[in-house]
Structure 1
Amino acid sequence: MDKPAFRREMRRRRAAFVAALPASEREALLAALAERLLALIPDTGIVAGYSAYGDEIDVSALGTALGDRYALPWFAAREDPMTFRRAGTAREDGPFRIAQPTADAEIVEPDVLLVPLVAADLAGNRVGQGKGHYDRALAGLAARKPILTLGIAWDVQVVEALPPDPWDVPLDRVVTPSRILG
């Protein structure tokens, strides 16, 4: 598989889908996604989401619902490992120009990780942005404790099958506004 070309095509597909969504339908899809996620997330523990970038599906409403149980990825620099900090309300642009908690926010280890993606398949394999930050974070977290991993996607991002690389960590579930896979 030519992953760079595949990423470009899937990003193009996602962008076209999002651009064609009327605002009311987008809000309905985001509400359906939040409902599915809340049904899967345990009542206790830390849930790490993400700040949606570009056409990624937005999970910020879930962060509002979870309050102080919600965390976000944090980077000191682009090359550094991803850590997680309580989301709170204060945000700053991180090294990728994506909103992240401020440097003084409490560092936490999530029990549930919501994973953005470029594409996912029916078996929970994913293609991410290509830098490996989530794969390394997932491997590290899973080595220390059980963690529930939920890939988050628009339905248009789900394909039949993807060839995983040896370092890829499969997701427990892939959640879209219309279904839960895995």
Structure 2
Amino acid sequence: MTDPQAKDAARREARVRRDAIADSDRPAASAAVRDRIAELAQGGHLPRGAAGGYWPLGSELDARPALLHLKELGHTVGLPVSGPRGTALVFRDWDPQAPMAAGRYGIHEPAEGRAVLRPSLLLVPLLAFDRSGHRLGYGAGYYDRTLDGLRDGGAVVAVGVAFAAQEMPAVPVDGHDERLDWIVTERETLRVRK
């Protein structure tokens, strides 16, 4: 079991590093990640069907260009709806033209009444990652529980999307932390698990 203080310190360091990325560099990084995810999809490395993503919070990499491209490729795309802390996320169908609701933590989410999806592909936000596929999240456990539940119910491919500057030599992990299958940054595409 990792010392919770070590994880908190790593989160603070990772947030400072991510926040320091210049606003002017962010759109190009999002476009590069979109192009890398498109290459993975066109190369047959990503499952067809429903893709789950996220609405960017704070200084997170904006995955919406990648999600819009996946929609163009024929995927249905869902965004998460956060329930109580520590529960799995529910993904509702995202229509970029439809009104959004303000969810828990003030994050935009698809409004009530949108179809619920079960993603076979999940683009995962993070504070930090390492080359073994571990990610450092915010500590609420949403994505770990979501991935655990999705993996129990069948195959899902988890793609961590981040800025290259978010890499750490080793992310502090616990037994419940779920590993990623791929990590995509503006600089490279890392296959972690086959």
On whether the aligned pair clears a TM of 0.5, the verdict is yes
Letter in 2 for 1:177: E
Indicate which of 11, 17, 42 corresponds to 1:13.
17
Indicate which of 49, 67, 70 corresponds to 1:66.
70
Letter in 2 for 1:143: D
Specify the alignment match of 2:166 in structure 1: 157
SS of residue paired to 1:163:
coil
Distance 1:75 1:21, change over 3 A: closer
CA shift, 1:27, in A, is: 2.4
Letter in 2 for 1:129: Y
CA contact (8 A) 1:86 1:105 kept: yes
Distance 1:7 1:64, change over 3 A: same
Specify the alignment match of 1:129 in structure 2: 138
CA contact (8 A) 1:72 1:84 kept: yes
Long gaps (5+) in structure 1:
none
Indicate which of 89, 93, 105 corresponds to 1:86.
93
Letter in 2 for 1:33: V
Output the CA distance in 2 between the equivalents of 1:121 and 1:158.
6
* Alignment root-mean-square deviation, CA: 1.7
* Residues 1-182 of structure 1: pairs in structure 2 closer than 5 A: 2-17=6-21, 20-22=22-24, 25-41=25-41, 42=46, 44-67=48-71, 69-78=76-85, 80-88=87-95, 89-181=98-190, 182=192
Quick one: percent identity of the two aligned structures? 35
Letter in 1 for 2:178: V
The count of residues paired between Structure 1 and Structure 2 equals 178
CA shift, 1:116, in A, is: 0.3
Output the CA distance in 1 between the equivalents of 2:126 and 2:170.
15
**What TM-score comes out, normalization by structure 1 length?**
0.91
Output the CA distance in 1 between the equivalents of 2:58 and 2:189.
23
Long gaps (5+) in structure 2:
none
Output the CA distance in 2 between the equivalents of 1:151 and 1:8.
19
SS of residue paired to 2:183:
strand
